[in-house]
Amino acid sequence: MKKVMFVCKRNSCRSQMAEGFAKTMGKGKIEVTSSGLEASQVHPVAIEVMEEVGINITDQTSDALRSFDPEEYDAVISLCGCGVNLPQEWVLRDIFEDWELDDPDGQPLETFHRVRDEIKEKIEGLINNLDA
């Protein structure tokens, strides 16, 4: 089973939504973790917009990337364009993608919905790619 790390700046919105979608849509196919360049907390609006699509992320935690070993992961997905700031060993995994999605933090609810839907679409593609 492939192991995937989703990473963004604070591990509060985008990477948390990605983790929720990937755990649900990739159940039995991939193992999923998310982290941030720094840890913070799971954003309440991220929790809210994921609940709207039937995914509960309230038990997820915000963790710092440095707490994990890159050797344990097959794929690393940056959601914020922060790939340039990641330690080299993370960027050199078998699969590395930088999705560069907008940060919905501090933005209107519509931005959370748009980013959530963009993440879902990208997760579908990622799971298909890892399955191939």
Superfamily the domain 2-131 falls into = Response regulator (3.40.50.2300)
CB atoms under 10 Å from CB of 85, counted, come to 14
Any catalytic annotation for residue 13?
no
Say which of 17, 30, 80, 119 is annotated catalytic: 80
Amino acid symbol at 70:
P
* 113-131 confidence digits (pLDDT tens): 999 999 999 999 999 988 7
Domain boundaries defined on the chain: 2-131
Say whether pTM exceeds 0.85.
Answer: yes
CA neighbor of 55 nearest in space, from 90, 25, 105, 20: 20
Q: What percentage of the chain carries pLDDT values higher than 70? A: 99
Any catalytic annotation for residue 82?
no
End-to-end CA, the chain: 12
At 29, the pLDDT band (50, 70, 90 cuts) reads: very high
